[in-house]
């Protein structure tokens, strides 16, 4: 195992109090980010693929839908929900919120609940 393929290699712990980083991400989900936000995003994106949220391209450049990488090769790969995204930034923000909740165990304040 090398340090880019070790699923447990990142030390960063997401601080649920750092709502400034949530704000920064929301302002530009696909943009260039501050060093601290880059660390947070790297932590969210790191880890074993099983269970990872991914976007399935329904129509290239137009429509995407959420799914998860299954545990075993050969298993079916259903969609997570019914939502069809027509903007990658919107999808990125949605996944960010799901991961925030999953990884910090806290729900984001109401001001962050809505779409972009």
Partner 1 sequence: MIYKTNEYLGYPDRISVPAGETVRFQLSSKRRSVKVEVLRLRCGDVDSNGPGFKYEVMTSPIDGEHACLDQPIRPGSNAVIDHDGALVPTGGHWCFGAYVYPTRIADNARAVMGNWCERSARGYALELDEEGNLVLVLGQASGTPARFALDVKLRPRVWAFVSCALDLARGSASLSMIVPADGVRPAASCSKSFALPRALALESGLPFLIAAHHANGDRQYSSHFDGKIEAPRVFSCSLDAEALRVFDGRQRTGASDAGLVAFWDFSNGISSLSIKDLSPNGLHGCLRQLPRRGVTGFHWSGSVHDWRLSPQEYAAIHFHSDDIYDCEWQTTCTLDVPAHWRSGVYALRLTSGGKNPDRDCESYVTFFVTPGKASRRADLVVVASVATYLAYANSALRLYQVHFETLMEHVLWLPQDDVFMQENPEIGQSTYDCHVDGSGRAYSSWLRPILNMRPRGYWFNLVNDTHILDWLEEKGIAYDLITDVELDREGARALAPYRVMMTPTHPEYYSFNMMNAIMAYQNAGGRHISMGGNAFYWRCGFHPAAPAALEVRRGMAGTRTWESEPGEVHLAGTGEPGSLWRHSGFAPQKLVGVGFSAMINDTCGYYLRTAESEDARVAFIFEGTGRHEKFGDFGFRYNGAVGSEIDRYDLELGTPPHALRIATSEGLGAGALPTPEEFRTVVDGLDGTQNALVRADMVFFETARGGAVFATGSITYGMSLGHNDYDNNISTITLNVVNRFLDPRPFVMPAET
- Contact positions vs partner 1 (CB under 8 A): 2, 4-7, 30, 32, 35, 38, 41-42, 45-49, 52-64, 67, 69-70, 73-77, 88, 91-92, 95
Whose Cβ is closer to partner 1: residue 17's or residue 81's? 81
Least Å distance, CB 82 to partner 1, is 14
Q: Burial letters for 41-79: b for 16+ Cβ neighbours within 10 Å, e otherwise?
A: bebbeeeeeeeebebeeeeeeeebbbbeeeeeeeeeeee
Q: Nearer Cβ to partner 1, position 17 or 78?
A: 78
Nearer to partner 1, 17 or 59 (CB): 59
Token readout for 89 is 């930034």
- Of 47, 46, 21, 22, which Cα lies nearest the Cα of 35? 21
Query: Taking the complex as a whole, how short is the minimal distance between the CB of residue 111 and partner 1, in angstroms?
Result: 23
Closer of 17 and 76 to partner 1 (Cβ): 76
Report the distance separating Cα 22 and Cα 14, nearest Å: 11
């Amino acid at each position: 195992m090398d340090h880019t393929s070790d699923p447990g290699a990142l030390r960063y712990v997401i601080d649920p109090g750092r709502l400034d980083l949530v704000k920064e991400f929301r302002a530009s989900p696909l943009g260039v980010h501050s060093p601290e936000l880059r660390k947070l995003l790297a932590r969210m994106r790191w880890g074993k693929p099983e269970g990872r949220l991914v976007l399935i391209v329904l129509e290239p450049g137009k429509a995407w839908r959420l799914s998860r990488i299954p545990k075993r090769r050969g298993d079916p790969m259903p969609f997570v929900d019914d939502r069809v995204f027509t903007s990658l930034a919107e999808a990125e923000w949605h996944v960010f919120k799901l991961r925030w909740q999953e990884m910090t165990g806290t729900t984001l304040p109401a001001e962050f609940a809505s779409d972009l």
